[in-house]
């Protein structure tokens, strides 16, 4: 079955440290890939998306993600974390962009805590 | 107002009440979605509307009834809910079904 895996349920990093959140997917072909962020009690905000082309994608709030086909991964990174980045992060994929079969499939999320 | 809005933001209702959740998108999108987000569970897709037609209903109990009167508005009518229905209900819209989705802030529902 098609799936999205975020192996880390909870990560804690120090403010100013670098961050990498992992995401792996299982599909035969390259899906379309997204990262979302959710602050407590809020909706999900789109951070970035990958459709094709350059495998390093820049997003909002200083985040970037790299698509690695050989590893079926789309990891999210930030060079220096700010306390306001504490939130839950969701990786999502869609197999058929813009098509009737295509709904987003979400990972279970990674909760990020930032310590001063 | 821009983006996706949801009202009310918080709702407490008894098991015998009838209430409705409202979602409005100001993005000119053609698809709209309802999700349920419970504590410690992944996001659950409930309903999908594309061009105002329901295209997906993921085995959701009949006590949840969606309505999409036009491409900008989506409702979720609730009746005879159970305590386990307490959750954050999220609405989203997208340019087309299967493209990136934009979410509203959610309605926190508590069933007593």
For residue range A8-18, what is the model confidence (pLDDT) as tens digits?
A: 999 999 999 99
Tokens 């969701």 sit on residue = A90
Residues 13-42 of A with CB under 8 A from B: 34, 36, 41-42
CB contact under 8 A, B106 and A43: yes
Which is more confident, A50 or A3?
A: A50
Contacts of A35 in chain B (CB under 8 A): none
| Res. A101: pLDDT tops 60 | no
Place B96 in a pLDDT band, splitting at 50, 70 and 90: confident
Which pairing describes strands A3-5 and A24-26: parallel, antiparallel, or unpaired? antiparallel
Mean pLDDT, chain B, whole residue set: 91
**For residue A9, what is the nearest residue in chain B, using CA coordinates?**
B40
Of A41, A94, A95, the CB nearest to B108: A41
Which of A87, A115, A100, A105 shows the shortest CA–CA distance to A33? A105
Q: Is A58 on the interface with B (CB under 8 A)?
A: no
Quote the pLDDT of residue A102: 63
Contacts of B50 in chain A (CB under 8 A): 100
Quote the pLDDT of residue A100: 56
Check: CB of residue B21 under 8 Å from CB of residue B110: no
Rounded to whole angstroms, the Cα distance separating B3 from A105 reads 22
Which of A36, A26, A28, A38 shows the shortest CA–CA distance to A60? A36
* Interface A:B, Cβ pairs < 8 A: 60
What 3-state class would DSSP assign to B111?
strand
Measured between alpha carbons, how far is residue B21 from residues A11, A49, B107 in Å? 34, 29, 8
Rounded to whole angstroms, the Cα distance separating A7 from A22 reads 7
Q: Is the peptide bond before B8 cis (omega within 30 degrees of 0)?
A: yes
The string over A40-78, giving b where at least 16 C-beta atoms fall within 10 Å of a residue's C-beta and e elsewhere, is: eebbbbbbbbbeeeeeebebeeebbbbbeeeeebbbbeb
What 3-state class would DSSP assign to A85?
helix
Question: Which residues of B sit within 8 Å Cβ distance of A?
Answer: 4, 6, 33, 42-43, 45, 48, 50, 55-56, 88, 90, 92, 95-106, 108
């Amino acid at each position: 079955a098609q799936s999205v895996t975020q192996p880390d349920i909870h990560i804690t990093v120090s403010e100013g440290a670098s961050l990498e959140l992992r995401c792996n997917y299982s599909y035969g072909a390259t899906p379309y890939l997204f990262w979302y962020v959710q602050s407590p009690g809020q909706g999900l905000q789109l951070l970035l998306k990958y459709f094709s082309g350059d495998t390093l994608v820049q997003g909002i709030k200083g985040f970037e993600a790299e698509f690695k086909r050989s590893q079926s991964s789309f990891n999210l990174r930030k060079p220096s974390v700010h306390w306001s980045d504490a939130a839950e992060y969701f990786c999502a994929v869609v197999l058929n962009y813009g098509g009737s079969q295509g709904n987003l499939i979400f990972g279970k999320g990674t909760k990020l805590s930032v310590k001063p | 107002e821009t983006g996706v809005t949801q009202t009310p933001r918080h709702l407490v209702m008894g098991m015998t009440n009838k209430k409705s959740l409202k979602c409005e998108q100001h993005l000119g999108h053609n698809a709209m979605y309802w999700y349920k987000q419970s504590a410690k569970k992944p996001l659950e897709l409930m309903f999908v509307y594309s061009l105002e037609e329901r295209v997906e209903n993921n085995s959701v109990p009949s006590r949840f009834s969606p309505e999409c009167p036009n491409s900008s508005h989506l409702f979720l009518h609730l009746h005879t809910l159970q305590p386990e229905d307490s959750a954050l209900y999220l609405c989203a819209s997208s340019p087309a079904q299967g493209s990136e989705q934009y979410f509203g802030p959610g309605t926190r529902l508590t069933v007593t």
